[in-house]
Structure 1
């Protein structure tokens, strides 16, 4: 635990407005500041659906995980052992998030990835994710959120394989897999 807390300040976090994390502003887009670009740059996010609209669009489990920041039980996800080549998209908005080329078996019970799709070195500005500090369980973790629709995807930890050293631990129900066309 001490190692995790020591590493957290060194992880590249993105600043997400409290309003964005609460899911407010359902009828208007909002702006998120990112540390990965120059201090004045902004990323425009699409408007979010209302709670009842999300409930109609998603299964109860998808809604619980993506909109209420839940977690699926370990070793239960349909993509945990998926080895097909392709792309993992957000189940809510279809934004591409993770490539199967960066997927690895972490033994933790959730699909794990060493980096987000669109990552260039340490730069995540062209990815479909945001990072946010999560203290909901009384300790500091880094939450992974869909940049497009603010869906909760999972968390990222500093104990992954080289060269990134990251383990994106993502809920299967937050993802939609699209196989590569052969």
Structure 2
């Protein structure tokens, strides 16, 4: 389900970008957004691939956390994507009617709630699988990093990706809405 939500949110981000970044900015910014969107989506998939699945009574990997290499590239690329998305939405929605704004806010809230529920379920099942595992950072006596080769996807997965995208969309739109209401009361 994690990967499906990641794809849904990526498609949603593409449509938001296509609707608001493409018509209101230079072609190079939209192209950059698409490249960064595809790259960050693939990197989130890659984090899932390099994260080991805990198996009870099986040998523990001693090769370190390959996910750190992926995260080194993923985090700045994802932050740039969120910035471009926010900027594009802000510029694109300036001319949109308030009813359009509210419609997108509500859809963003639905995605945010869905992503939060999926994340809670995912973390619960992942922590259950990690119980009594030597690499469980939440067990007493564990001395390693909280992010390890078994827990990368607790913090970097499709649900988190979706939560951040939806939060940026909602936050930017709410900022615009309150700014418009404030500007109308001054008149």
Q: TM-score, normalised by structure 1?
A: 0.23
Which structure is richer in relative contact order (CA contacts within 8 A, separation 6 or more)?
Answer: 2
Higher Rg: 2
Which protein has the bigger helix share? 2
Q: TM-score, normalised by structure 2?
A: 0.22
